[in-house]
Structure 1
Amino acid sequence: MKQKTWPCKSDGLHFTALPFLKKPNDSSAFTKPAKTRRSFFNSTPKTPSSSSSSSSSDFSALPYDVLSRIAASFTLPNLKAASLVCRAWRDALKPMREAMVFLKWGKRFKHGRGGVKANLSKALDSFLKGAARGSTLAMVDAGLIYWEMGRKDEGIAWYRRAAELGDPAGQCNLAISYLQASPPNTEEAIGWLYQASYAGHVRAQYQLALCLHQGRGVGRSLQEAAQWYHRAAEGGYVRAMYNTSVCYLMGEGLVQSHRLARKWMKRAADHGHSKAQFEHGLGLFSEGDMMKAVVYLELATRAGERPAARLKNVILQQLSATSRDRAMLLADSWRALPSSR
């Protein structure tokens, strides 16, 4: 689904940056973020003394349903680490490790990688087998395929299962599903977005910022929206980089700073945001750096920004043939920096 980067026109007001609002107190309807669950493994278990057998250090006594819930959103490295805690955990986590194998094959069939042809049916079957063994990662991928197949109710059901087990991607996808519903369930969507955002999911942070910016399902707050844009931008989300630049440029929710606006606009451009490439090219042109301006304008033109082509052609007429060839060579060899989109 294509989404607008900047949701609405400025109302002309300027705000200074404020700290994040505290998370709403009423969170009883939602599960804790997965990040909180993972902290269980941060400490090294104490070895029980020979004279006493403290139940607090008896990891084998942890009920399977609790253990499986904790490990539901684990990746393979985390599962391997948890399996080393004790024999009971190793045995209990066997279905999760099997789920990782099905998850791997599901991705191969979905994208046609690893020497296999793309096959959506086989991919879905693999993801469902992984989901049946308790992996939220497989649940989210199964939900995505159902969604792409137009079976949205089944997709949402898998998103919800993953979300309730604390998976940030499941929480984010479930929230977006609710926002796209007819009629939209904005109140519940915002709740899930907050959970995923506090867990560090950058797409959820960007979506939450859009809702706060628009006042959709939550009170409009440019200050909090700008803070979430900024956090998602720092996490590598390209659209958030562009919006963070605009916030700094216009002084909406952040202290106005042309230097920081230019910094984030360049970052967005270097990560492949076509509108940012156009606007950064404009900035370079105004500064007299014609060569670099042409490179960014050419990139924007190739990405479909038509106004960039007109300005680029004007600048090219002012450059020597050598400079024009050099600029096109730089554009041809350009590669976008990796991002989390």
Structure 2
Amino acid sequence: MCNSSAMQGVLELDMNNYDLSPEDLQHVLSCKNFTSLEILELKGKSIDFDTFRNLLPKASFLSSLNVFTLPSIKGGSCQEQVDLFVEIADTHSPLFFRKAGNIMYANKMNSKGFDLYLKAAELGHSLSQYSIGREFEFRKDYNEAFKWFSKASQQGIVKSQCKLGSFYAKGKGTEKNVRKAFEWTIKAAKKGHVRAQYNLSILFRVEPGYEDKEMKIFWLEKAAQQDHPRAINDLGVSLTCGDEFEDLERALELFKRAESLGVKVASVNKLNLLEEMEDRYDSSDE
């Protein structure tokens, strides 16, 4: 397989479900034709550190790789693994600064882990840019968080696009900009990001000049299909308002479903709806 020139166009290789022998794994790492590979999944496989250290720097995919799920590495100290990844990062790809950072974080050396993530982010690694944004958000440094979410969003990181839309909607780290809030939230929602779908329903409900119940329900439906608990409850509420969208029977089922997913207010909504339905039934008998 690795001798085929067709491998030069492969962008993603997921070997997680294949029972690779150590020798097969070595063939993957030493293949010279994976020159366009962006995603390599080797989770669950194992390889000894000395072999890994010998093969990885020679791999053909180092410069193109953006996501690399590592095999289990047997032997070699944490520092040896970090040194290997930093060496590769310096010569090939910022992804490996992130890999070195992962090791630091796993060993509770968070400050060093952050520094390595930041190096990867500064060199343009999109997932690291998002991670740095999250760290600054946790620190409540919203200006820095906004900067890094913007960079990651422009590189297509969907969860970052959702965050960026939220920052624009709330005016966090930037001036509030409803148009840009919609722009970035829609980008993420259309790609199936469930939180973005729910956030978009809120924008269509609360933003003056943008209120649109039909669109609000549309995006609540999308999020509810992915079992977003609050979306399920809010969809139920939207179906109890006495307008053309009313569907009390479905609303009741939605409240029950949201309740089972831990939404406390859904229990109250369910009881209130049952009382209303009972009152309507009694009135119809008079």
Same fold, TM-score > 0.5, yes or no:
yes
Residue in structure 2 matching 1:76, options 37, 40, 48: 40
Runs of 4+ in 1 over 6 A off after TM superposition: 99-102, 121-128, 316-319
Structure 1 window deviating more from structure 2 (260-269 vs 159-168): it is 159-168
126 and 299 in structure 1: CA distance in 2 versus 1, 3 angstrom threshold? farther
Q: Does 1:103 align with 2:69?
A: yes
What TM-score results when the alignment is normalised by the length of structure 1? 0.53
Map 1:215-230 to 2 at 5 A.
215-230=171-186
Q: Which residue of 1 aligns with 2:6?
A: none
301 and 157 in structure 1: CA distance in 2 versus 1, 3 angstrom threshold? same
**Contact 1:105–1:126 (Cα < 8 Å) also in 2:** no
300 and 149 in structure 1: CA distance in 2 versus 1, 3 angstrom threshold? farther
**Contact 2:66–2:125 (Cα < 8 Å) also in 1:** no
Map 1:102-251 to 2 at 5 A.
103-106=69-72, 129=84, 132-134=87-89, 136-137=94-95, 139-140=97-98, 142-144=100-102, 146-147=104-105, 150-181=108-139, 184=141, 186-251=142-207
C-alpha deviation, 1:223, in angstroms: 2.0
AA aligned to 1:298 is K
AA aligned to 1:160 is L
**Contact 2:153–2:161 (Cα < 8 Å) also in 1:** yes
Indicate the SS of the match to 1:96: coil
Residues 276-330 of structure 1 deviation map (CA, whole Å, 9 limit, x = unaligned): 11011223344553443233222211221112123335666899xxxxxxxxxxx
Q: What count of residue pairs does the alignment treat as equivalent?
A: 221
Residues 58-105 of structure 1 deviation map (CA, whole Å, 9 limit, x = unaligned): xxxxxxxxxxxxx8993239xxxxxxxxxxxxx9644739x9998332
C-alpha deviation, 1:273, in angstroms: 1.4
Residues 29-84 of structure 1 deviation map (CA, whole Å, 9 limit, x = unaligned): xxxxxxxxxxxx9xxxxxxxxxxxxxxxxxxxxxxxxxxxxx8993239xxxxxxx
Distance in 2 separating the partners of 1:285 and 1:276: 15
In structure 1, the gaps of 5 or more residues are: 1-40, 42-70, 78-90, 110-115, 320-341
**Contact 1:100–1:130 (Cα < 8 Å) also in 2:** no
Distance in 2 separating the partners of 1:285 and 1:125: 61
AA aligned to 1:203 is K
Q: Does 1:307 align with 2:265?
A: yes
C-alpha deviation, 1:251, in angstroms: 3.6
**Contact 1:298–1:309 (Cα < 8 Å) also in 2:** yes
In structure 2, the gaps of 5 or more residues are: 1-8, 10-34, 42-56, 278-286
**Contact 1:251–1:257 (Cα < 8 Å) also in 2:** no
State the Cα RMSD in Å: 4.0
Distance in 2 separating the partners of 1:122 and 1:304: 43
Distance in 1 separating the partners of 2:83 and 2:229: 37
C-alpha deviation, 1:242, in angstroms: 1.0
- Higher relative contact order (Cα pairs below 8 Å, separated by 6+ residues): 1
272 and 155 in structure 1: CA distance in 2 versus 1, 3 angstrom threshold? farther
317 and 256 in structure 1: CA distance in 2 versus 1, 3 angstrom threshold? closer
Q: Which residue of 2 aligns with 1:262?
A: 217
Percent of pairs with identical residues: 24
Distance in 2 separating the partners of 1:200 and 1:283: 32
Distance in 1 separating the partners of 2:84 and 2:265: 49
Structure having the larger proportion of residues in strand: 2
Indicate the SS of the match to 1:172: helix
Indicate the SS of the match to 2:62: helix
Distance in 2 separating the partners of 1:124 and 1:302: 46
Q: Which residue of 2 aligns with 1:276?
A: 231
**Contact 1:102–1:129 (Cα < 8 Å) also in 2:** no
